Amino acid sequence: MSFCLVVDEMHHSLLPLLTEIGVAADYQPELTAAEIPAALAARPYEGLVVRSKLRVTADLLAHGPQLRYVARAGAGTDNIDEAAMLAAGVTLLNAPEGNRDAVGEFAVGLLLALFRNIVRADGEVRRGEWHREANRGEEVGGKTIGLLGYGHMGRAFARRLGAFGCTVLAHDVDSSIASDDNAELVGPAELQARADVLSLHIPYSKANHHFVNETLLAGFARPIWLLNTARGEVLDHAALVGALQSGRVRGAALDVLDNEKLSTLTPGQQANFDFLRQAPNVVLTPHVGGWTHESYRRINEVLVKKIRAFRAGELGRVAGS
């Protein structure tokens, strides 16, 4: 019997799914990050299952010399030191297939909320106000939607945009990614020249920190709408505020922020957040794009399938965005 340590809250389906493939799960979601190294050292765990509570570092991996894999329940791997994993000979498994449909649907919702003033109009009606002309919106049909990143999440969004009669462009630095029936792959300059909307679907890494900044936003040929369902740190929020103030960005919908622990915002982050939460052309949600009842279970199914394949020698490092 193989053992794995699970240190985050997971859908209840995980344990029986693991049992079916011969893995016994030690389910300890109550552990704090500081307690996990000792717990990891207590048994010869082959696997570690995490969400976002824990940073997987070289120091942590040293406490689990028997580890063969770390399974990240979700898409993002920015809390995983992949260089340390490689050095320790530990394989990374993640599950972007588990919540890509949730993200794709949610991005459509954010786009419609922006174009049709849904959030603002709802608040007005609840206050007893009835402003039809002020809430005249725009249609998605005929627009050009630009996707920055065309992995699992970008592709899921593009598939759903096909019903709207719009043009979808995508840019990705991964040369192995090709155009498909849902989007045309283009270079960054063409994306900036043609897009009416910029939707972010790139993972966070040091190289992608503030990838969307003042220079990039200023390079678009016309004022754009901006969506971010990826990671807050890929967007320079000060640059976004400036672009909203100048009109270079017509409106923004953010499911993620550069600091999502709102009680710990720096003065600069607080100033940006105060502007964004008061702006009538900004929609804010608490990182729920990929968080549905269906994805909660599906992530388990994807992870367990990959763990089974890995243990059978059929799978190497698996990650995605």
Active-site residue set: 231, 260, 287
Cα(135)–Cα(117) distance, integer angstroms:
6
Give the largest CA-CA distance in the chain.
Answer: 66
Q: How far is CA 103 from the centre of its chain?
A: 8
Element holding 70 (H helix, E strand): strand 69-72
Cα(188)–Cα(119) distance, integer angstroms:
31
Q: How far is CA 72 from the centre of its chain?
A: 13
Cα(302)–Cα(254) distance, integer angstroms:
27
Taken as a whole, the chain contains a residue count of: 321
Spell out the SS3 assignment of 117-176.
Answer: CHHHHHHHHHCCCCCCHHHCCCCCCCCEEEEECCCHHHHHHHHHHHHHCCEEEEECCCCC
Residue with tokens 């190289």: 207
Q: Find the helix packing angle between 96-115 and 152-161, rounded to 10°.
A: 50
Q: 321 near 96, Cβ under 8 Å?
A: yes
